[in-house]
Chains A and B, each alone.
Chain A
Amino acid sequence: MTDVLIIGGGNAALCAALMAAEAGVRVTVLEAAPREWRGGNSSHTRNLRCMHDAPQDVLVDAYTEEEFWQDLLKVTAGKTDEHLARLTIRASSNCRDWMRRHGVHFQPSLSGALHTARTNAFFMGGGKALMNAYYRSAEQLGVTIRYESPVDRLEMEGDRFVAAWVQTPQGPERIAAKTCVLAAGGFESNREWLREAWGQNARGEWPAENFLIRGTRYNQGTLLKHLLEQHQADAIGDPTQAHMVAIDARAPLYDGGICTRIDCVSLGVVVNQAGERFYDEGEDFWPKRYAIWGRLVAQQPGQVGYAIIDSQALGRFMPPVFPGTKAQTLPELAQALGLPVETFMRTLDAYNQACREGHFDHTVLDDCHTEGLSPAKTHWARRIVKPPFYGYAVRPGVTFTYLGLKTDDTSAVFFGGRASPNLFVAGEMMAGNVLGQGYTAGVGMSIGTAFGRMAGRNAARVARAEEVLHGHA
């Protein structure tokens, strides 16, 4: 008999499993994916946003609770829960020694990501190396790990968890446990659900049909839907809100991960299918803006954008994986990209004429800007004149969805405003409690680690002592 059952196999799930195992209870992890695809979206991550009051090993300077909170407040435009957000932030300040004990190694901020040297602790080798370490540690602690074990429903007695039903090649299997932690991810891999959530726009398009999924194909949201529909668990978040970035349109449908990003947006212009610009490409540093471009592109016709640069931009952004469309003149580039040449040239000419070039410096908010142009480009506005020219088609890339289960500072799942005594939730399945919208690098792992550890600790406590937890939402 299992004491604590963990459903999911990513960062939050393994944090929960390790905490529960450390508390001395019997733990089983049910991972839907086969072993080689284990770890969910965590395998694509690379860092953890960390609060710290003074320099700490790989982190420079300080990143205080207040600053972290203000950053979160800004990106979510206030759609967050301060109590749970601050809990996440504080937990991020003291989890790394524990992570190290389980074999995780950190490294200083990567080249090309130096702006995060203060705020984000990078995993050496990235998220898959982190997951490998957690799985090794879990095996050493005697945790039972079952791969290819998707759970499609729970057996509940009111708000109390009784058992989970796993699909196996031999048919459904019932696994009972004293307590359960749900950490099975969002529903971003479920394209049908995304289509339904985004619906049809005024142009008659189904925008989500053109979305790519940056991460795992295994986050189908089966259990999330089951909890919301069959058990009326309390929901949080908007199903169209997600961590979404603009990625190379040629990226694979799933698991394209970080290397499919297109980082040249702020160095050039971005036009839509009609050949027109639609947003200030130089509003702020790209690291602070990359997370809004997924939605911006999602709102354009055909859900596609075209990042246009000239040769002056080469060597100033992370190299894209797929070669860009290249041409010696701008009209040829428009033609090669399948854009209406006349409109495209009108857009580019207007932009070039509006550029007021001061001292170009892509490492600061420089004084190169446009005048009398709408939308304006407020920094790094240099005329696009130096051949060859390059164009990259970009599409919305969904990282993870924010619709999830409502929880409190015990990680409990709620039913009709009442906390379940033995069902907990962590990771993407509850990230919407903290992230109502927007994103800032590494915060998904901060949430997963904070709530994963808390859920594991509480699930073990309840399983051992039949203790009743009293939380505060």
Chain B
Amino acid sequence: MDTLEQLTREARALANGTPISPAEAELGRVLQICNGCRYCEGFCASFQAMTRRLEFGRADLHYLANLCHNCGACLHACQYAPPHEFAINVPRAMAQVRGQTYGDFAWPAPLGALYRHNGVALSLSLALGLALFLWLAARTDAPVGADFYAIFPHNLLVSLFMPVFGFAVLALGLGVRDFWRAVTPATTGAPVNAPAGAEAAHDVLRLKYLDGGHGEGCNNADDAFSLRRRRAHHLTFYGFLLCFAATSVATLYHYVLGIPAPYDWPSLPKVLGAIGGVMLCVGTLGLWALKWQRHPLHGDPSQRSMDYGFIVLLLLVSASGLALWALRGQSGMALTLCVHLGSVMALFATLPYNKFAHGIYRSAALLRHAVEKRQPNTLGLGGE
């Protein structure tokens, strides 16, 4: 039995590789200390997954980093946090490796570099998106107050957005596939089963690990718990989904039912879009404000511009979408339409290279966790 355990451990360590980047080395150091303490075990999945390990190879680190929701609870509770000489900051060490994995697993690989220059990537894509639609708008001679298919014909929009969106889905899919392949051997290798899938879906959709482990929420500016970040994220996430649903339903209306836009209140596309747009607006404003107040030791400071950029882009998409409704038939509509479509284009074009990836990789990590926790723990530790 012993030999088998040892062989398993050695095989896993070999497949897992040893940490190489400074961020990975730091996370390895941090987790070695955390694993000797474990006081934070009740907060989240990252610590529960950590306790199943004695060593932390690359794949373990990539997996654990993506399980971490950067809630901050373990930093405020940490007896070894700065100014302690151990200088343990789990959320930061996790965020740094997490940021690295987005770049490492990006497809195609050279574009992973966009994560290191995310401000440039985002501003260029937004500028190009705006330029594209302004240029297209300038070419039409549609009268002021015309509906927007007079400015941008439906088929033109579909031919522009479908390839970009398709590419984003493909790139994210291939990235997360590589991530999955890398972390699966380090997470028992067991296949996904229905209960694990259901639990992971629950944890993702309810954002379980922003509840603090006790339901009072996560930390933001200080050691007090709050559900505001979780709620703002829910508004953002579900607002985004509703907007996406509105677009999908509208596409069905157009091609299947033969009902062309514009859709008036209370048609389904309009209802979904209006509610989703408001939720997305409120959610992103909330996330923005919360990030502004965020404790300076949370997360990776070098990723803040990426986070803000993504929040602002989503806000721009939702606010311009709502403005379009308000401005229908008025002179500002064409310009607002260009801003809306340009920002949606920038969002879609950068989906595989911006903050959006966090949801995909984290969901994958949560699914591996739900699988791993159902496997027997091979460690039998006695303790103090």
Contacts and interface: CB of A to CB of B under 8 A. Distances in A.
Given A43-B79, A124-B214, A125-B39, A261 B384 contact: yes
Contacts of B39: 46, 110, 123, 125-129, 258
Given A125-B40, A259-B37, A321 B32 contact: yes
Interface string B7-44: 00100000000000000000000001101111111110
A363 B384 contact: no
A282 to B, nearest CB: 12
Q: Chain B CB within 10 Å — which of A108, A111, A261 has the most?
A: A111
Given A105-B214, A258-B36, A263 B384 contact: yes
Interface in A96-123: 105, 107-108, 110-113, 115, 122-123
Contact of A286 (B6, B78, B224, B383): B383
Contact of B382 (A107, A245, A263): A263
Nearest to A37: B83
Contacts of A128: 39, 76-79
Given A44-B79, A105-B213, A128-B78, A320 B84 contact: no
A358 interface: no
Given A263-B384, A316-B382, A362-B382, A107 B224 contact: no
B47 to A, nearest CB: 9
A136 B41 contact: no
Interface stretch (B175-183, B246-254, B327-335, B373-381): B373-381
Contacts of B51: 111-112
Nearest to B37: A259
Contact of A111 (B38, B77, B86): B38
Contacts of A286: 382-384
Interface in B51-109: 51, 54, 73-74, 76-80, 82-86
B2 interface: yes
A319 B214 contact: no
A125 B80 contact: no
A334 to B, nearest CB: 24
A256 B223 CA distance: 22
Contact of A107 (B42, B74, B80, B86): B42
A318 B223 contact: no
A314 interface: yes
Interface centre among A115, A286, A314 (most CB of B within 10 A): A314
A287 B382 contact: yes
B384 A287 contact: yes
A318 B383 contact: yes
A285 B382 contact: yes
A257 B42 contact: no
A132 B221 CA distance: 14
Contact of B383 (A108, A132, A260, A287): A287
Contact of B381 (A129, A312, A317, A321): A317
Given A315-B54, A321-B32, A266 B79 contact: no
Interface in A281-310: 285-287, 290
A255 interface: yes
A105 B77 CA distance: 12
Contacts of A314: 6, 54
A139 B370 CA distance: 40
B383 A321 contact: no
Interface residues of A, number: 50
Given A285-B382, A319-B36, A321-B33, A132 B77 contact: yes
A252 B83 CA distance: 13
Contacts of A17: none
Nearest to B216: A105
B382 A255 contact: no
Contacts of B80: 257, 259
Interface in A34-70: 36-37, 43-44, 46
B169 to A, nearest CB: 39
A343 interface: no
Contact of A363 (B79, B82, B85, B382): B382
B41 A107 contact: yes
A441 interface: yes
Contacts of B35: 318-319
A115 B383 CA distance: 8
Interface string B269-308: 0000000000000000000000000000000000000000
A390 to B, nearest CB: 13
Q: From DSSP, what is the main secondary structure of chain B's interface residues?
A: loop
Given A124-B213, A128-B79, A321-B33, A311 B381 contact: no
A441 B84 contact: no
Nearest to B83: A36
A93 to B, nearest CB: 22
A424 B359 CA distance: 55
A113 B51 CA distance: 12
Contacts of B380: 315-316, 362-363
B5 A258 contact: no
B113 to A, nearest CB: 35
Nearest to A311: B6
B42 A112 contact: no
A128 B78 CA distance: 7
Contact of A125 (B33, B48, B73): B73
A117 to B, nearest CB: 12
A126 B40 contact: yes
Contact of B77 (A126, A261, A318, A320): A126
Given A132-B223, A286-B384, A255 B36 contact: no
Nearest to B53: A319
B75 to A, nearest CB: 10
A321 B384 contact: no
Contacts of A287: 382-384
A317 B383 contact: yes
A266 B43 CA distance: 31
B182 to A, nearest CB: 23
A44 B78 CA distance: 9
Interface string B110-125: 0000000000000000
Given A113-B383, A124-B42, A287-B383, A259 B76 contact: no
Given A107-B41, A124-B213, A312-B2, A261 B36 contact: yes
B285 to A, nearest CB: 27
Contacts of B78: 128
Contact of A257 (B37, B77, B214, B223): B37
Given A111-B41, A263-B383, 7 more contacts: A108-B42, A255-B84, A255-B85, A260-B36, A287-B384, A315-B381, A320-B36
Interface of B: 2, 5-6, 9, 32-33, 35-43, 48, 51, 54, 73-74, 76-80, 82-86, 213-214, 216, 223-224, 378-384
28 contacts: A36-B83, A46-B39, A110-B41, A112-B38, A112-B381, A122-B42, A124-B42, A124-B43, A126-B37, A257-B79, A257-B80, A260-B36, A263-B381, A263-B382, A285-B382, A286-B384, A287-B382, A314-B6, A315-B9, A315-B378, A316-B381, A316-B382, A317-B381, A317-B383, A318-B36, A318-B38, A318-B384, A321-B32
Interface of A: 36-37, 43-44, 46, 105, 107-108, 110-113, 115, 122-129, 132, 136, 245, 252, 255, 257-261, 263, 266, 285-287, 290, 311-312, 314-321, 362-363, 441
